[in-house]
């Protein structure tokens, strides 16, 4: 039993380490995300001083309002990172599938814009609730989206298709890309720890094995396949959570990243 407990702890630490590695990979994007508003704040502040010197207090006031808005945006980014890097709790709650995708997309916002990735969100307008842990589910989606973006780095018109389908008490979250897909001989191996086809420094081969373990812990399953017309498709199937479960903590605003994406919602 002690060995089992130790193994469990080691696995938990591995999950945490992998999460930090993902954060490391995204550091450049995050840097950009914070530097942009920072530069804007500086410009607004400098101009406000000029306006004040000239007695144009109304114009200065306008600049201050912009500054307030920009700092709120920065605080939001920072709060989200804090949320992502914390260790998850053990308790499973009702988590909005759309909000989980929203969180994951936000972390990739600048990368998606820079690589001109078209993001299709195929899901109902109403929140679909899954029985999960927001942090862990987000970690899985961040891994899947990160892989999809890496796979499409050479794709001329990169398109990321995200979907949510609820069926018979289960919810399927799909992440489909238009990259080269997974070689048939690799399909059975992608969930093995340390299996990677990426160059040194580009991947450790842990993302999918850890994601599969997380989804398994959540009582669901993670599957990989190739789409008939090319590209890889990953699906996370989790138990649906009745709306009877008050989901306030997991709900979050879907502004920001989502507004960048092409929407394809259905009622």
- Interacting residues toward ligand ADP by CB under 6 A: 143, 147-148, 151, 177, 179, 181-182, 186, 190, 195-198, 203-209, 232
* 109 DSSP assignment: H
Decide whether 94 or 137 has the Cβ nearer to ligand ADP.
Answer: 137
CB 170 to ligand ADP: min, Å: 23
CB 123 to ligand ADP: min, Å: 20
Decide whether 100 or 139 has the Cβ nearer to ligand ADP.
Answer: 139
Distance (Å, rounded) from C-alpha 153 to C-alpha 179? 8
Residue with tokens 């086809």: 197
Cα–Cα nearest to 233, from 181, 159, 167: 181
CB 267 to ligand ADP: min, Å: 30
CB 29 to ligand ADP: min, Å: 17
Distance (Å, rounded) from C-alpha 238 to C-alpha 245? 16
Q: How many CB atoms are located within 10 Å of the residue 253 CB?
A: 9
The first and second tokens of residue 40, run together, are: 């804007």
Decide whether 131 or 136 has the Cβ nearer to ligand ADP.
Answer: 136
The first and second tokens of residue 125, run together, are: 């307008």
Distance (Å, rounded) from C-alpha 101 to C-alpha 80? 13
Strand duo 118-122 + 159-167: pairing: parallel
Decide whether 110 or 143 has the Cβ nearer to ligand ADP.
Answer: 143
Cα–Cα nearest to 259, from 105, 111, 144, 149: 105
CB 67 to ligand ADP: min, Å: 40
CB 55 to ligand ADP: min, Å: 58
Decide whether 99 or 175 has the Cβ nearer to ligand ADP.
Answer: 175
- Contact yes or no for 130/240 (Cβ under 8 A): yes
Distance (Å, rounded) from C-alpha 70 to C-alpha 217? 39
Distance (Å, rounded) from C-alpha 191 to C-alpha 67? 46
The residue with its CB nearest to ligand ADP is 203
Decide whether 71 or 225 has the Cβ nearer to ligand ADP.
Answer: 225
CB 66 to ligand ADP: min, Å: 39
CB 171 to ligand ADP: min, Å: 21
Phi and psi dihedrals of 157, rounded to 5? -120, 80
Residue with tokens 């017309």: 229
Decide whether 94 or 145 has the Cβ nearer to ligand ADP.
Answer: 145
- Residues ≥6 apart with Cβ < 8 Å to 36: none
Decide whether 56 or 198 has the Cβ nearer to ligand ADP.
Answer: 198
């Amino acid at each position: 039993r002690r060995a089992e407990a130790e193994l469990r702890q080691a696995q938990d630490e591995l999950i945490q380490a992998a999460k930090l590695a993902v954060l490391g990979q995204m550091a450049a994007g995050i840097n950009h995300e914070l530097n942009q508003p920072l530069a804007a704040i500086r410009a607004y502040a400098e101009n406000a001083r000029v306006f004040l010197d000239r007695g144009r207090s109304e114009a200065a006031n306008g600049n201050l309002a912009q500054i307030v808005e920009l700092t709120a945006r920065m605080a939001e980014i920072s709060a989200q990172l804090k949320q992502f890097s914390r260790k998850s709790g053990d308790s499973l709650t009702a988590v909005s599938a759309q909000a989980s995708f929203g969180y994951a997309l936000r972390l990739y916002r600048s990368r998606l814009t820079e690589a001109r990735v078209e993001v299709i969100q195929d899901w109902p307008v109403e929140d679909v609730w899954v029985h999960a842990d927001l942090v862990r589910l987000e970690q899985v989606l961040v891994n899947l989206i990160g892989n999809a973006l890496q796979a499409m780095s050479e794709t001329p018109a990169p398109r990321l298709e995200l979907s949510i389908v609820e069926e018979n008490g289960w919810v399927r979250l799909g992440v489909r890309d238009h990259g080269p897909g997974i070689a048939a001989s690799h399909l059975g191996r992608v969930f093995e720890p340390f299996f990677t086809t990426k160059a040194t420094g580009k991947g450790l081969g842990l993302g999918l094995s850890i994601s599969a373990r997380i989804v398994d812990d959540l009582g669901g399953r993670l599957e990989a396949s190739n789409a008939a017309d090319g590209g890889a498709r990953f699906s996370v199937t989790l138990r649906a959570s009745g709306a009877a479960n008050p989901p306030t903590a997991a709900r979050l605003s879907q502004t920001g990243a989502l507004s960048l994406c092409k929407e394809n919602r259905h009622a």
